[in-house]
Amino acid sequence: MMSRKTRRLWLVVACGAGVSCATALMLVAFRSSLSFFLSPQEVIAKHPAPGMVFRLGGVVQANTVVMGTRDSRPYTTFRITDGQASIPVVFTGVLPGLFRQGQGVVTVGTMAKGDREFMADTVLAKHGASYMPAPVEQALRKAGKWNPKFGPAPNAATWDDKSPRTIEADNNG
Amino acid sequence: MIPALGHFVLALALAIAAAQAVIGLFGPMLRDRLVLRAAPALAISQFIMLGLAFAALVWSGVVSDFTVRNVAEFSSSTTPLFYRITGTWGNHDGSMLLWCLILSLCGATVGVFGNNIPTSLRARVLGVLGLVSGGFLLFTLAVSDPFRRIWPPPLHGAGVNPILQDPGLAVHPPILYTGYVGFSIAFAFAVAALIEGRVDAAWGRWVRPWTLVSWIFLTCGICFGSLWSYYTLGWGGFWFWDPVENVALLPWLTGTALLHSAIVVEKREALKTWSVLLAIATFSLSLCGTFLVRSGLLNSVHAFAASPNQGLFILVLLALTIGGSLLLFAIRAPVLAATGMFAPVSREGALILNNVFLCIIAAVVFTGTMYPPFVDLAFGMQISVGAPFYDQAVLPMVAPLILAMAVGPMLPWKRGAIGPALVKVWYAAVAALIVFAYYAFQRHFIAALGLAGAVWVMIGALIDIGERVRLFRVPLGQSFARLGTIPRASVGAALGHFGFGVVVLGIAGMTLRVHDVTVLHPGQSVALGGFNWKLDSIVPATGPNYTARKATITVTRHGKLVMVLKPERRYFTAQKVKTVAAAIRTNGVRNMFATFAGEDNSGGGEFRFNVHPFAPEIWLGGFIMALGGAISLSDRRFRIGAPARVKLRKPAGSATV
């Protein structure tokens, strides 16, 4: 039988080893899998490096959704706007059922070369009771499009035509 | 009228909860038998009141009483009856009421079945439950009143969120809530024990069955949730490491740890302080699970009842409950001295290893889940922690758990040796190696590791049972007869471990999945996973409150018909929302999964086809684990309790009557 001290030592050593392994794993994992959320305005301001995975969120701009087929795979192009800026998005795959114009969405992907369009590999449309993802809500608030204090979000279809600054114009000028 | 009555009994329940808290917590100091008897009676009447309130809300939903805001916003006259009932808890206010109802049910259960608990301890347990219940009832009444009325009532209600119009809503939230809230009993026992300053083997024996019940419910609840999102969200994932999922996993992890550490308390009177802390942590995480999600702090892809405006009240309530109990723990924990002694290599040692790893996993998941809101609050940056983080940080931590899982039950109590235990499980090791070699040869290394681990755990669990019935060492008939005599807790534990192995099998199998997204015109076909998927037709269809487009897909293999899949796209006219109804067929070890995502102008349909090997095992394993828990619960020592010990202790306890 071991003494209480030895037993406690074993326990501390085991816990310490486990915790330090976990911390090391977490730090490594954090480095590779953290992704930032950017609104269209921030994308234009910050020009994220091509290849850096981030989340682009906003509202699907009305009359910009084009669906087509490329190599018998469905692809969709649309623009995401926060009312101040708008970014073209290319997505190959099946859109979630709740995807529609004027809908708040979050897309995950990278900027294509040339900073022209966002290549999304995931599109998330909110499945909750309120159809506005929280980061999008904040982006809209920052863009001055909506303050939650004054009631629910405006119908996005009514304001997304106000010729927001586009990434092409920004790059050219 | 009915909603008004419901509101009234809800207020009455709050008053009763307050009385229960005061009498339960201060009654034992009076040493008055009558006062102590009042606590269970109050707990039962609180449950009856909340039952009536809940019935009133369901009634308002059933008769579509649109003067109740809750009904007007989340139900409509075209909603089918079934979803008018389930819609009651498909929104924030209603689910709050369900939460309180289940909490009061826990109190009532302790009141009815807790006769083997010393009266003073029972009163304190009920007092703590009453206090928690009172807090949340106050919240329900003051901030999120499910009976709030509107005038004039709308002609038609807004209708239930189409995603929630699913049988899953009938099953998943109530069961998950029962799991979450059930841990309140272990929590109340822990706090009561801290107040009394005594934790002994009997305490472990009382706490374990209650923990086990909520663990069974939580396991089932998580399984149902995972299954629901698997078939609803339409891209064939079963676990997304979404914050809402993580906060359900956290109490499951610590609850599982508590389940194991309570065994040590019961058998060996060690790990007492630790178990008390685990009980507090588990319920605290359950509270976080229910409420942090609703406070709008975490973002999720899932549908749940969110109400961001009520965050502050909830946060204060959480801080009081969690902070208060932890403070009490800090003050009183030194009173609970450990008595049992054991060597590191022993059953106790293995159970500690289980606890250490489960808690580390919980800590990792907690960090990953809470880091984004923390960064948002502290630095104002919006970041998100994705699935790769958890895959990289959690899975390596599961590996030692899996390794130890087959060996631990072979070790004797107090002192053991690794050698003899390993000898017992050698064929599990051989089988695992064969499985590993088979899949590694096909260059599926991750799957090979996972499947080998699954086989190791499953065979290890079977060996555990085999050892107990002395399989192949005595004649088979005799072994079979022994099966009836070994403690059911051991059978349950082995089955629980086996079920975990099955879950691992399913998750590892999912890494072998194949999927394809493609556009097909009627008559065209595509090959995937050794099958030929042919689109026959796309036809319109109608449902009770939606219209749909239904595709018929014939799946053949080598020219022979395997199955016909009929995925649908539904359009809910009232809410103007499209949903995808996936077609899934299973043969028990493989799922075929087709979703119909859209149509283009030329009449082609967009389809997503998946072949998911071993996918059904994910949920099957979860339910086997729950079944193991149920068998363990039926063990003789829980049914009979420990009357002998209670009688012995009665004269010794100063505060007992």
- Do A10 and B344 make contact, defined as CB atoms within 8 angstroms? yes
Which chain A residues have a beta carbon less than 8 Å from that of B415?
1
How far apart CA A85 and CA A108 sit, in angstroms, is 18
pLDDT(B86) > 50: yes
Query: At B642, phi and psi to the nearest 5?
Result: -130, 65
The closest alpha carbon to B217, from B259, B257, B172, B186, belongs to B172
Which chain A residues have a beta carbon less than 8 Å from that of B387?
33
Nearest CA in chain A to B73: A129
The mean pLDDT value for A64-92 works out to: 84
Q: Specify the length of chain A in residues.
A: 173
- Do A18 and B364 make contact, defined as CB atoms within 8 angstroms? no
* Domain ranges across chain B: 425-512+616-657, 516-613
- Do B517 and A74 make contact, defined as CB atoms within 8 angstroms? yes
How far apart CA B367 and CA B393 sit, in angstroms, is 11
How far apart CA B381 and CA B645 sit, in angstroms, is 57
Per the listing, tokens 């809230």 go with: B181
With vertex at residue B554, the alpha carbon angle to CA B548 and CA B555, rounded to the nearest 5 degrees, is 125
Which chain A residues have a beta carbon less than 8 Å from that of B579?
97-98
The mean pLDDT value for A65-94 works out to: 83
Per the listing, tokens 């590999």 go with: A121
- DSSP codes, B366-410: HHHHHHHHHHHHHH---EEE-HHHHHHHHHHHHHHHHHHHHHGGG
Contacts of B510 (CB under 8 A, 6+ apart): B238, B612, B613, B614, B615, B618
pLDDT(A144) > 70: no
HSE-CB at B599 with a 13 A cutoff on CA atoms is 20
Q: Cα-atom radius of gyration of chain B, to the nearest Å?
A: 27
Output the furthest CA–CA distance in chain A (Å, rounded). Answer: 79
Nearest CA in chain A to B594: A94
- Do A29 and B393 make contact, defined as CB atoms within 8 angstroms? yes
What's the pTM value of the predicted model, to 2 decimals?
0.88
Share the mean pLDDT of chain B: 87
Higher pLDDT, A6 or B404: B404
The closest alpha carbon to B263, from B216, B215, B341, B211, belongs to B211
How far apart CA B330 and CA B336 sit, in angstroms, is 11
Lowest mean pLDDT segment, chosen from A87-91, B143-147, B645-649:
B645-649
Output the furthest CA–CA distance in chain B (Å, rounded). Answer: 86
List residues forming the annotated binding site of A for heme: 127, 131
The confidence score (pLDDT) of residue A159 equals: 45
Of A22, A36, A93, the CB nearest to B360: A22
Query: At A168, phi and psi to the nearest 5?
Result: -65, -50
| Tokens describing residue B349 | 């040692």
Query: At A119, phi and psi to the nearest 5?
Result: -95, 105
| Tokens describing residue B80 | 């089918």
Q: What is the identity of the amino acid at A173?
A: G
A173 pLDDT band, cuts 50/70/90, is very low
The mean pLDDT value for B281-305 works out to: 75
- Do B344 and A7 make contact, defined as CB atoms within 8 angstroms? yes
- Do B382 and A37 make contact, defined as CB atoms within 8 angstroms? yes
Class of domain A36-172 (CATH, top level): mainly beta
Give the pLDDT confidence of B385-395 residue by residue, as tens digits.
888 899 889 98
CA A102 to chain centre: 16
| Tokens describing residue B333 | 């924990």
B9 pLDDT band, cuts 50/70/90, is very high
How far apart CA B498 and CA B490 sit, in angstroms, is 12
Higher pLDDT, B83 or B215: B215
CA dist A141 → A84, A138, A147, B298, B570 (Å): 11, 5, 5, 18, 33
The confidence score (pLDDT) of residue B301 equals: 60
Give the pLDDT confidence of B299-329 residue by residue, as tens digits.
666 655 555 566 678 888 889 999 999 999 9
Of B304, B342, B608, the CB nearest to A94: B608
B137: left (phi over 0), alpha (psi -120 to 50) or beta: alpha
Nearest CA in chain A to B570: A97
Burial class (CB in 10 A: 0-12, 13-18, 19+), B566: middle
CA dist B327 → B191, B192, B220 (Å): 11, 14, 32
ipTM of this predicted complex?
0.73
Give the pLDDT confidence of B36-53 residue by residue, as tens digits.
889 999 999 999 999 999
Highest mean pLDDT among B150-164, B233-247, B348-362: B348-362
The confidence score (pLDDT) of residue B349 equals: 86
- Do B306 and A128 make contact, defined as CB atoms within 8 angstroms? yes
* Domain ranges across chain A: 1-34, 36-172
Per the listing, tokens 């953290």 go with: A34
Report the 10 Å Cβ neighbour count for B414.
16
Q: Which residue in A15, A70, A72 has the most chain B C-beta atoms within 10 A of its own C-beta, making it the best mutation to test that interface?
A: A72
Q: Which long-range contacts (CB under 8 A, 24 or more apart) does B227-234 make?
A: B227/B168, B227/B619, B228/B166, B228/B168, B228/B172, B229/B302, B230/B615, B231/B582, B231/B584, B232/B163, B232/B166, B232/B168, B232/B582, B233/A96, B233/A127, B233/B301, B234/A94, B234/A96, B234/A97, B234/B580, B234/B582, B234/B595, B234/B597, B234/B608
The closest alpha carbon to B123, from B23, B18, B17, B193, belongs to B23
Q: How many contacts does A have with B, using Cβ atoms within 8 A? A: 161
